Amino acid sequence: KAPLPPGTKLLPGPPGKPLLGNLLDIPPQHSWLKFREFIQEYGPIVRLSIAGQEHVIIGKESIANDLLRERGTIYSDRYDAIASTQLLCDNMFLLFLPYGEQWRRSRRFMHHVTMSPVAPTYKPEQTLEAVRMLRDILRDPEDYQIVFECASVGIGMRLMYGQRLESGRDRECRTILGIVHELERVASPGAYLVDIFPSMLRIPDFLAPWKRYLKAQQRHDEAFFTEMVERTEKDMQAGKKARSWARTWIETKEKWGLSDREAIYMFGSVFDALATSTSSAMMSFVLAMVRNPEWFAKLQAEVDQVVGPDRLPNFDDMPNLPLVRACVKETLRYYPVTAGGFPHKLTQDDVYDGYYLKAGTIVHPVQWAIHRDPELYPDPDVYNPGRWLDPSFPTYKEPLTVYPNLQNYTAFGNGRRICQGISIAENSANLQVALLAWGSDIRRARDANGTEIIPPVYDYEIGFNVAPKPFKFMLTARSEAKAALIEQAYQQSLKEDPLL
């Protein structure tokens, strides 16, 4: 082993075994729970070595920002997990692209269509989908997962391709969700040995069914992403007027320097990024309300007071609904969607606080741990939206017409690769939460003996973009009058829908 540069030391971390390092210390599922334990034991920045690969896990927001944001020139690369980045995505997936030209070109286009001055112009589309969500969940609360997925995927199809999703059971919705879940499975640590032993890539295809499978899946995904852009093109040729990001790209291709394939994959990757993220956050919100009914009662009281009984809440109400925004933010703190954090790769040797970090180190801003740092979040294991609204907490910020909000929030990553959908996700989640509080009662279900069922605090799906496993609760309209207003708003939204 090369000696450390003079005056530097290695980060603390659990001792490893010969060759395997810490491989066996890390559970294949929900690794962030273990990472938090390491951080509690060794401090806010911890070194792990997994089969010769250096990893650093971070459990403090200020450290994540010092490295990933302030030293962004060297902390913005991604690592090459062979099964997912190379074989399943053919090195084309935006979220996994190396910090280089193709990433820069894609990011520039995405900035143009998602940056904060443009994001508010999507409110009409987000309102249509949010009203439909409320109407559908009241009709079929047991179908809540499909209903939230329909809202997320529905917004994605509108914004990206100018297409309307009829139902959460439609082919487009199930296909994109299938693609996301398969990507999560393939990218999970330990799913494919080739990620640990890269020389396996040299095994010829005819001897490696796993390689043939991943390549076939890649062709399937690319065909779907291509079909979606072709649909936009056909609509344009047929004289349809609907705006969309694909249309913007088609009309101004020469400005962006993206090849057709790069653009198709860019849209496909973003479709992937938005298909499950907001819906996972909404499922976590309902779980938090079922577990903490006192907060749902306070939320209803705020919305009732600001909006009154005679109309549905809308975006103009948001400055007056700080608790709605606080519940969204607290939900993403307590149940971060990307709980393990999206890893960045360091491209040059670096020294931080006297500690040596080697080029090639994979850096994990572990949201589960960062969001439970007791210095920034006292009583971190308590779900308390009040921490964003009460001046005695370190997270309080005025004015409450603006804060809390999700801009630059660690739930969306850090630095140059920070999520480009923050404003879009923020608007969707805020409005959906306000509508649920205004129009529905969410209560605990009861078992056969009449005892309330309290779902477990953390029984989540596997993957890196995680939602709670199905849980039981009751959801009903708050009154017949409100149910009628919601149906009316829905019928009106059908009349106003530019895609109908």
Contact residues: ligand HEM, CB under 6 A: 94-95, 107, 110, 114, 270, 273-274, 277-278, 281, 337-338, 342, 344, 411-414, 417-421, 424-425
Min separation Cβ 328 and ligand HEM, Å: 9
150 a known binding residue? no
- What is the rounded CA–CA span in Å between residue 439 and residue 299? 12
Separation in Å, CA 330 to CA 282, 350, 396: 12, 34, 12
Shortest Å distance, C-beta 25 to ligand HEM: 24
Burial class (CB in 10 A: 0-12, 13-18, 19+), 151: buried
Task: Report the nearest approach of ligand HEM to the CB of residue 124 (Å).
Answer: 16
Nearer to ligand HEM, 131 or 282 (CB): 282
Q: How far apart are CA 138 and CA 291, in angstroms?
A: 20
Q: How far is CA 208 from CA 87, 184, 202, 204, 367, in A?
A: 12, 21, 10, 6, 36
Q: List C-alpha distances in Å: 222 to 86, 184, 301.
A: 14, 17, 47
- CA distances to 146, 282, 289, 451, 455 from 446, in Å: 23, 22, 16, 5, 11
Widest pairwise Cα distance in the chain? 74
Closest distance of CB 349 from ligand HEM, Å = 21
Q: Toward ligand HEM, which CB reaches closer, 138 or 266?
A: 266
Q: Which residues face 55 on adjacent strands?
A: 48, 362
Smallest separation (angstroms) from ligand HEM to the CB of 114: 5
**Angular region, 355: left φ>0, alpha ψ -120 to 50, beta rest:** beta
| Cβ nearer to ligand HEM, comparing 270 with 321 | 270
Residue at shortest CB range from ligand HEM = 421
- Per the CB < 8 A criterion, the answer to whether 53 and 363 are in contact is no
Task: For ligand HEM, give the closer residue by CB, 101 or 379.
Answer: 101
- Find the shortest distance in angstroms from Cβ 462 to ligand HEM: 17
- Smaller CB distance to ligand HEM: residue 68 or 299? 68
Of 266 and 306, CB closest to ligand HEM: 266
Structure tokens at 344: 């960045």
The amino acid sitting at 183 is L
Smallest distance from the beta carbon of 233 to ligand HEM, in angstroms? 21
The smaller minimum CB distance to ligand HEM, of residues 22 and 152, is found at 152
DSSP output for 27-80: -SS-HHHHHHHHHHHH-SEEEEEETTEEEEEE--HHHHIIIIITTTTTS-B---
Structure-token pair, residue 301: 């009281």
Nearer to ligand HEM, 364 or 482 (CB): 364
Minimal distance in Å, beta carbon 125 to ligand HEM?
A: 12
Structure tokens at 380: 């971190």
Q: Contact 186/83 with Cβ under 8 angstroms?
A: yes
**Feature table: binding site:** 419
List residues forming the annotated binding site for heme: 419
